[in-house]
Chain A
Amino acid sequence: MLSAWTRKVDKRVLASLACIVLLLLGGSVYSRNFLSLAYLLQQLQVASFLGIVATGTMIVILLGHIDLSVPWVVTLGGMMATAAGGWGRIGGAVAIPFAFVCGLGMGLVNGIGVAYLRIPSMIFTLGMNAIAQGLMVVHTSGFAPQERATPAMHFLSVDRSILGIPNAVWMWVLTGGLASLLLSRTAFGRRVYAIGNSERAAYLSRANTKLVIMTCFGISGACSGLAGMLLAGYSTKAYQAMGDPYLMPAIAAVVIGGTSILGGRGTYYGTVTGIIVVTLLQSILSIVQVPEAGRQVIYGAVILAMLLTYGREEKSSV
């Protein structure tokens, strides 16, 4: 019974669960508040922004691609939401869907470039990142757009309406739940894994691989836009480069959670553990009074050590 269960659960996910326990213990040694419910809930709230970004990142990584346009699509989502909030009476109502749609649009363009034009995702999404940045630079300086978050955005990311759990966490649960259902219970999800393993084989089994890839990039863009909107609500305003600290941690979280960066293998609950590991690590590093230099070194070294212990590729002679 137990062995069947352990066989089903990925070793990598177990390892990252062990990391969570270690980090919690390590943190509690340093400060007794670390294990308090209030602190952990706050960590979960911070994690939910990364969580929503990483959901999109994971789906794209499962395909064997990567989305480097995250930083400025997040910023674009935040700025578009706040700008829409400034359109008077309708503005407040459309702000949230507008961020989602803008992110989705950017993501779909990424998808067209990668799936139909067959440009390597690394370079195409990089270009889209530059374009999103360019658009936002023009947007913020040509005229003075509204940059304050609407009350609804604030409500979604800061307030705690149900069970005292921050609404941002519920947003993450919703996004993550949908993504996890999509990946594990639908034909679409099967195709995502199939493409990650071999797009050629998926194509030969009559999967519309191009459409699947484009949709996945769309989902990733939409997640980024949504996260940007929530972030703007959290910090009460949208600002330049607000998405910069999300690209690398999102990729790290997905990989630590056991998803192969080559695609085709990984589970959503693994990604959840990865997100929590990264968030706890960042939080411990910020409360321990180590200068920024030391924090960077520890952050890099810990991630490297975790990857070396369980994130390695299978050994092959070739």
Chain B
Amino acid sequence: MIEPSAQPKATTAPSPPRRPDWTYHFAAQRGAWIALLIFAAMFTLFACEHPAGFSHNVINTAANKGALLALVAMAQTFPVLTSGLDLSVGMVFVLTNCVASTLVSGSPWRVAVGVSAVLGTGLACGALNGAVVVWGRLQPIIATLATGSLFYGAALWLRPSPGGTVDDGLAEALTGSLPGGIPCSIVLLAALVFFVWLPYRHSVLGRAAYAVGSSRQAAFMSGLPVARAQFATYVLSGFFSAVGGLLLTGLTLSGEANAMLGGSYNLSSVAAVVVGGTSLFGGSGGAVGSIFGAFVLRTIGDLLFVLDLDPLWQPLFLGVVLLFSVGLSSLRLLRIKNRLDIYR
């Protein structure tokens, strides 16, 4: 029994001076900040070199292209946070594009029903993925590959050949720009961040997702809803892919069951997530970083265009930049003191 009056040991080392709070916040968001800086530098160069200069049109086109990938990359972020992966995002993106091109036209009432059907399709696809991964206990990579094939089949069934229409007003509202020259797609991204991502991030489910990514066992032991949190990440992933599909329909004004497109968005979304500072091992990062990651990837292509690089060299250059940017992360090896930490 310790005496209540016992003094703490006099030899206790003085605690190191406390770092100010913002340094912790900054460290947690470092990846997103780096991606933002790279994007800002690249975009400034792009706009300066562009023959048409810093015009509304240039910005709007760049924003729309970037927002497409940004939405799919945000979708990918959710499962990655729990150290999962969703390789069906590209196919949900394609499927919802086909759904939108079929249903979203006609009277305002029908457009509203169509939009909810598109978003509902995304949620349903996500729920299927989540159920298969969480309660089916399948590995996410292989399970979502299989469901991706299902979704692509459904898209092909809806649209055996490219076509369809979409309501012009909605398309304009999604891809046009506001009077101030602010692209609507950016407003859409901001709205999703403020009304979906941030509330989610601070909810129990969101924090549980981060906890599951850091340590599943610890999250379970702390009584967090592990299964529900994982399920929610896949559902949200489906939702964001569906928003992406809707935006794609607004841009192309038609629908196409394009397997190549879906496949390339699958892979680019993973790349954008990593460039945006989210760890593939889960537990750190966030959807905002993925937005910047997506914009970085898209600006690389644009940059090559305005710098008059031979278009033939573009794919190679894109690969080199991608490898270089992920290669930077291996600099952390220099800081590791215990060699065992290198090995998982």
Task: State the A residues within 8 Å of B (CB).
Answer: 66, 68, 113, 117-120, 122-124, 126-135, 137-138, 141-142, 198-200, 203-204, 209, 244, 248, 251-252, 255, 261-262, 291-301, 303-304, 307-308, 311-313, 315, 317-318
CB–CB B153/A200 < 8 A: no
From B138, B157, B318, contact of A308 by CB (8 A): B138
A287 to chain B, nearest CB (A): 18
Q: Interface size for chain B: under 10, 10 to 19, 20 to 34, or 35 or more residues?
A: 35 or more
Chain A residue contacts of B155, Cβ below 8 A = 293
From B216, B270, B343, contact of A203 by CB (8 A): B343
Chain B residue contacts of A142, Cβ below 8 A = 312
B319 close to A (CB within 8 Å): yes
Give the nearest-CB partner of B152 in chain A: A296
CB–CB B315/A119 < 8 A: no
CB–CB B139/A262 < 8 A: yes
Chain A residue contacts of B315, Cβ below 8 A = 130, 133-134, 137
CB–CB B153/A295 < 8 A: yes
Would A294 and B343 be within 8 Å (CB), given that A130-B318, A131-B316, A251-B145 are in contact?
no
Please report the C-alpha to C-alpha distance between residue A72 and residue B335 in the assembled complex, in whole angstroms: 34
Give the nearest-CB partner of A312 in chain B: B137
Please report the C-alpha to C-alpha distance between residue A135 and residue B271 in the assembled complex, in whole angstroms: 19
* Residue among A122, A128, A252 with the highest chain B CB neighbour number at 10 A: A122
Interface positions of B from 158 to 206, Cβ below 8 Å from A: 160
Main secondary structure of the interface of A (DSSP, over half): helix
Interface positions of B from 277 to 331, Cβ below 8 Å from A: 280-281, 312-320, 322-323, 326-327, 329-330
Please report the C-alpha to C-alpha distance between residue A304 and residue B159 in the assembled complex, in whole angstroms: 24
From B132, B270, B340, contact of A200 by CB (8 A): B340
Would A209 and B343 be within 8 Å (CB), given that A261-B139, A307-B143 are in contact?
yes
Please report the C-alpha to C-alpha distance between residue A313 and residue B138 in the assembled complex, in whole angstroms: 6
CB–CB A66/B141 < 8 A: yes
A136 to chain B, nearest CB (A): 9
Please report the C-alpha to C-alpha distance between residue A96 and residue B198 in the assembled complex, in whole angstroms: 55
CB–CB B141/A113 < 8 A: no
* Residue among B220, B317, B319 with the highest chain A CB neighbour number at 10 A: B319
Would A130 and B322 be within 8 Å (CB), given that A291-B160, A297-B154 are in contact?
yes
Known: A124-B323, A297-B149, A300-B151. 9 other contacts (CB 8 A): A119-B329, A119-B330, A120-B281, A123-B274, A134-B318, A261-B139, A292-B153, A299-B153, A318-B216
A193 to chain B, nearest CB (A): 16
CB–CB A315/B145 < 8 A: no
Interface positions of B from 245 to 272, Cβ below 8 Å from A: 257, 263, 267, 270-271
B22 to chain A, nearest CB (A): 29
Please report the C-alpha to C-alpha distance between residue A137 and residue B315 in the assembled complex, in whole angstroms: 8
Chain B residue contacts of A261, Cβ below 8 A = 139, 141-142
CB–CB A304/B148 < 8 A: no
**A-B contacts, 14 listed (Cβ < 8 Å):** A120-B281, A123-B270, A126-B267, A132-B319, A133-B315, A134-B313, A134-B316, A134-B320, A137-B316, A138-B316, A291-B160, A300-B147, A307-B146, A311-B138
Chain A residue contacts of B52, Cβ below 8 A = none
B217 close to A (CB within 8 Å): yes
CB–CB B333/A113 < 8 A: no
Q: Report the 4 A-B pairs with minimum CB-CB distance, sorted nearest first.
A: A134-B316, A296-B153, A300-B149, A130-B319
